[in-house]
């Protein structure tokens, strides 16, 4: 079900994109830029139907649909931000804290009692952030993983994602889909010293650290208001205009931050989205555009999610 970026498996007829390592569209042979396995998957005797490919237009349409189905997102008044300093492009390397007050002035903590939020938050303390340290997964943590998957699959948003992928012949049943999500997000693999020290969920939603460098996603908005008092998250350069005051969610905030002694100069994070919304978008992009930019549309605004397959160790299978 995972498609490597240098393969035509499940990509036959996919439109040309300069970001792709190789191509699987019908003109690639004439242009001499096909993937090496084009004939096997997309030739006359190939078994990979173009009906299973996911077009750029379908990604734009589906992401807008998922955006509209995020019923658990924050509403106007649920979050009040205090962006403070807007950094200039030349300030990104400056480690001085220019936003000494907390980023969040107010968060409606009633959001965190919703089932997908509550089960998501339970997962955040299950990980050793340093690479090279073997993860020990307890029976309780396994139950927390299952609870989260159960809760997100109850949402209309995730059911729509499954229906789309099933229609693309990627999955035959919801059980098969959930098993793939389990492997993608919670399967352990090695990022250092051969230890099973990381997972997709840890790297993206909780964060990993190697000497001097924070890894994984930038801090999501859900755990940020729960961090100890005194934590600082400072906005980063994005626009010369004053920081926006949002009246709808989700949105994206550009920021720089310090985390457990590590400094990240420029990053970004969704603000106000539900856990299942990010989980769905990233899962879609990993399956549809592995190892390359996944172009989406949210509320009429274009954005891209970059995926990074991990192929250096098993298990993980990319």
1-53 CATH, one of 2.60.40.1120, 3.40.50.620, 1.10.10.410, 4.10.410.20: 4.10.410.20
Q: What is the pLDDT of residue 110?
A: 93
Percentage of the chain exceeding pLDDT 90 = 35
Report how far residue 14's alpha carbon sits from residue 56's, in angstroms, rounded to the nearest whole number: 8
pLDDT at 174: 96
- Residues, the chain, total? 318
Residue 228: count of CB within 10 angstroms of its CB? 5
Is residue 1 over pLDDT 50?
no
Strand partners, 277: none
Query: What per-residue confidence (pLDDT) applies to 154?
Result: 98
How far is the C-alpha of 275 from the C-alpha of 138, rounded, in Å?
23
- What is the tens place of the pLDDT at every residue in 182-237? 988 998 877 766 777 778 888 888 877 665 555 555 667 887 666 543 333 444 33
Average pLDDT over residues 91-117: 87
Query: Which of the two residues, 112 and 244, has the higher pLDDT score?
Result: 112
Least confident of 6-10, 272-276, 310-314: 310-314
- CA-to-CA separations, 296 to 47, 163, 293, in angstroms, rounded: 28, 18, 9
Per-residue pLDDT tens digits for 249-261 = 888 888 887 777 7
Provide the pLDDT confidence category of residue 277 given band limits of 50, 70 and 90: very high
Contact (CB, 8 A) for 275 and 120: yes
Among residues 186, 221, 191, the alpha carbon closest in space to that of 209 is found at 191
Q: Contacts for 36-39 with beta carbons within 8 Å, 24 or more apart?
A: 36/6, 37/7, 37/8, 37/9, 38/8
**Least confident segment among 43-47, 102-106, 157-161:** 43-47
Distance CA 53, CA 8 (A): 10
Q: Above 50 in pLDDT, residue 181?
A: yes
Burial of 31 (0-12, 13-18, 19+ CB in 10 A): exposed
Q: Is the pLDDT of residue 239 over 70?
A: no
More confident residue, 310 or 26: 26
- Per-domain residue ranges of the chain: 1-53, 58-307
User: How confident is the model at residue 297, as a pLDDT?
Assistant: 95
For 135-152, write each residue's pLDDT tens digit: 788 899 999 999 999 999
Residue 13 half-sphere exposure toward CB, CA atoms < 13 A:
11
């Amino acid at each position: 079900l995972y498609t490597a970026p240098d393969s035509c498996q499940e990509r036959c007829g996919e439109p040309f994109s300069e970001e792709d390592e190789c191509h699987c569209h019908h003109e690639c042979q004439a242009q001499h830029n096909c993937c090496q396995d084009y004939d096997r998957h997309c030739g006359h005797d190939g078994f990979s139907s173009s009906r299973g490919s996911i077009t750029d237009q379908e990604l734009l349409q589906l992401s807008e649909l998922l955006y509209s189905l995020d019923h658990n997102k924050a509403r106007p008044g649920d979050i009040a931000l205090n962006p403070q300093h807007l950094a200039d492009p030349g300030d990104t390397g400056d480690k001085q804290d220019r936003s000494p007050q907390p980023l969040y002035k107010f968060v409606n903590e009633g959001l965190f009692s919703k089932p997908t939020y509550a089960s998501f938050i339970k997962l955040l303390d299950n990980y050793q952030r340093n690479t090279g340290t073997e993860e020990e997964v307890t029976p309780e943590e396994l139950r927390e993983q299952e609870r989260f998957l159960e809760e997100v699959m109850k949402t209309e948003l995730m059911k729509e994602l499954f229906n789309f992928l099933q229609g693309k012949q990627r999955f035959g049943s919801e059980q098969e889909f959930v098993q793939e999500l389990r492997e993608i997000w919670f399967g352990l693999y090695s990022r250092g010293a051969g230890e099973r020290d990381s997972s997709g969920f840890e790297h993206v939603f909780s964060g990993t650290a190697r000497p001097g460098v924070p890894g994984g996603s930038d801090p999501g908005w859900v755990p940020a208001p729960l961090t100890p008092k005194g934590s600082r998250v400072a906005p980063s350069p994005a626009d010369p205009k004053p920081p926006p005051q949002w009246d709808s969610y989700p949105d994206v905030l550009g920021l720089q931050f310090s985390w457990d002694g590590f400094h990240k100069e420029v990053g970004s994070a969704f603000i106000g989205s539900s856990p299942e919304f990010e989980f769905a978008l990233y899962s879609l992009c990993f399956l549809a555009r592995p190892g390359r930019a996944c172009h989406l549309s949210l509320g009429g605004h274009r954005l891209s999610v970059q995926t990074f397959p991990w192929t250096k160790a098993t298990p993980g299978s990319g």
